[in-house]
């Protein structure tokens, strides 16, 4: 990739179109990434990098933290402070890091398995504390890395390695779970809606407190193959485009029409004391008494 | 006064062959059928039809395609 130089002729009326330059954000020599052909994680990463670029934050002020999974490989490709930790424990590490270095902007990239199965306990307690961090759940409704076991978001009836005849478990709705547990910014996007996703992630990063974004994307290799989707594009059409409605569209739809659709956009936003600020206040009060 | 004829905008499409994994997403989403698959690699079949919308780049999971206005 090369950086395009914009040579504007003096009389040119319209600015020439140039592609976004991802190069400054990618760790040298790390591409191609390990994700399979058509894996949605790459599209999500690109929306995330554009969102970070728009915030204007310095790369050194950002720390990206992950657990284990295909999605959790994200920090390995980016040129920020990065921490690739244990399966399910990204939020525990993120919490410790934020306490030690409260000025860092923490972005957690995690999977539906990492965040909601093995890491489900950390997830609800992170939401409850409202510590300033952004949690991005790359939700492909399956354990991609370990070859396609059911996850807590696998929809009923869908096939996986551990659900050969279709899952019978009711899934979690990541956003409802996050909101109920106390997250103060809750949103959903998809890889298909890449521009909307970029804006949502931007808002999530700027929000003070725990932000959760459920990002629906595709695992063509396992979820796609097991469930008879022919191409990655077909998964994007059927699951991400047809399977979701924006919060705005949803206002005009009946409960029947909303059946089986996921809401997209900012679903919940509120203000509550932020954990590190409360902690600092407590320290100051206790010290003043000494 | 006659309306000046719109100047045709032209584009250059860079495909990074070392990064393209042949998923066909860019081909499927290009609104003007500029791109095609040639085995496991995407190729430009009708550059003239490109309108610079960047959909191919934005939905490419592999950082493998970019479109520059010339
Ligand atoms: C303690 C522990 N248990 C199990 C595993 C095996 N394991 C690795 S990744 C993974 C699931 C990943 O799924 P998800 O978080 O949804 O990420 P994806 O690969 O789908 O992006 C599991 C079970 C592990 N690495 N460590
Ligand atoms: S196994 Fe699935 S989630 Fe993992 S890289 Fe491949 S397509 Fe993506
Ligand atoms: S920029 Fe738009 S029109 Fe041109 S190749 Fe890409 S998707 Fe097609
Ligand atoms: S979307 Fe990207 S990786 Fe897929 S075929 Fe097109 S250029 Fe190649
Ligand atoms: Mg997953």
- A2 falls within a domain: no
**Residue B46 neighbours by CB distance under 10 Å:** 12
If you search the block for the tokens 């990239």, which residue do you land on?
A109
CATH ID of B19-69, from 3.40.640.10, 3.40.50.300, 1.10.3470.10, 3.30.70.20: 3.30.70.20
- A60 falls within a domain: yes
State the Cα–Cα distance between residues A275 and A210, nearest whole angstrom.
9
List the domain boundaries for chain B. Answer: 19-69
Q: What pTM value is reported for the model?
A: 0.95
pLDDT at residue A290 tops 90: no
User: Which ligand does the CA of B56 lie closest to?
Assistant: 3
- Atom 1 (ligand 1): residue with closest C-alpha? A87
* Per-residue pLDDT tens digits for A193-227: 999 999 999 999 999 999 999 999 999 999 999 99
Q: State the smallest CA–CA distance between residue B60 and chain A in angstroms.
A: 6
Number of domains comprising chain A: 1
- A13 falls within a domain: no
Max Cα distance, chain A (Å): 70
- A210 falls within a domain: yes
pLDDT at residue A239 tops 60: yes
Ligand 3 centroid to residue A53 C-alpha, Å: 23
* Per-residue pLDDT tens digits for A10-60: 555 678 999 999 999 999 999 999 999 999 999 999 999 999 999 999 999
If you search the block for the tokens 């690109």, which residue do you land on?
A46
Residue A156 structural domain: 29-289
Of the candidates A59, A69, A48, A61, the residue with the CA atom closest to the CA atom of residue A101: A61
Q: H/E element holding A90?
A: helix A90-100
- A9 falls within a domain: no
* Per-residue pLDDT tens digits for A154-188: 999 999 999 999 999 999 999 999 999 999 999 99
Which of B:26-65 have CB within 8 Å of A?
28-29, 52, 54, 57-63
Q: Which of A20, A36, A38 sits opposite B25 (nearest CB)?
A: A38
Q: pLDDT at position A15, please? A: 85
CATH of the domain at A101: 3.40.50.970
Q: State the smallest CA–CA distance between residue B22 and chain A in angstroms.
A: 7
Predicted complex ipTM? 0.93
- A250 falls within a domain: yes
- A10 falls within a domain: no
Q: pLDDT at position A13, please? A: 62
* Per-residue pLDDT tens digits for A139-151: 999 999 999 999 9
State the Cα–Cα distance between residues A239 and A218, nearest whole angstrom.
8
Q: Please name the residues in contact with A71: beta carbons below 8 A apart, sequence gap of 6 or more.
A: A41, A109, A110, A111, A114, A138, A140, A144
pLDDT at residue A72 tops 80: yes
């Amino acid at each position: 990739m090369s950086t395009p130089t914009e040579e504007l002729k003096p009389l040119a009326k319209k600015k020439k179109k140039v592609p976004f330059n991802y190069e400054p954000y990618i760790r040298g020599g790390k591409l191609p990434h390990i994700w399979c052909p058509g894996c949605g994680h790459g599209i999500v990463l690109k929306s995330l990098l554009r969102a970070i670029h728009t915030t204007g934050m310095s790369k050194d002020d950002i720390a990206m933290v992950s657990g284990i999974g295909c999605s959790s490989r994200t920090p390995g490709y980016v040129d920020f402070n990065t921490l690739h930790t244990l399966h399910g424990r990204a939020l525990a590490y993120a919490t410790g890091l934020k306490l030690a270095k409260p000025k860092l902007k923490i972005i957690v990239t995690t999977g539906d398995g990492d965040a909601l199965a093995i890491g489900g306990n950390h997830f609800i307690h992170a939401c409850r504390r409202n510590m300033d961090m952004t949690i991005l759940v790359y939700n492909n409704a399956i354990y991609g890395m370990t070859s396609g076991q059911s996850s807590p978001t696998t929809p009923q009836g869908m096939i996986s390695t551990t659900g050969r005849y279709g899952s019978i478990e009711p899934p979690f709705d990541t956003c409802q779970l996050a909101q109920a547990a106390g997250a103060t910014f809750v949103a959903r996007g998809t890889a298909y809606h890449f521009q909307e996703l970029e804006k949502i992630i931007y808002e999530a990063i700027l929000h003070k407190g725990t932000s959760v974004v459920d990002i629906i994307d595709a695992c063509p290799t396992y979820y796609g193959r097991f469930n008879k989707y022919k191409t990655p594009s077909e998964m994007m059409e059927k699951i991400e485009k047809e399977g979701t409605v924006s919060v705005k569209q949803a206002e005009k739809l009946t409960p029947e029409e909303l059946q089986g659709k996921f809401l997209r956009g900012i679903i919940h936003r509120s203000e509550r004391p932020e954990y590190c600020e409360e902690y600092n206040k407590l320290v100051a009060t206790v010290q003043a008494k000494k | 006064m006659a309306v000046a004829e719109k100047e045709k905008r032209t584009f250059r499409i860079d495909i990074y062959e070392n990064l393209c994994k042949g998923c066909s997403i860019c081909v499927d989403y290009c609104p003007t059928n500029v791109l095609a698959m040639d085995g496991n690699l995407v190729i430009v079949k009708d550059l003239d039809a490109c309108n610079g919308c960047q959909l191919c780049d934005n939905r490419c999971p592999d950082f493998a395609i970019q479109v520059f206005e010339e």
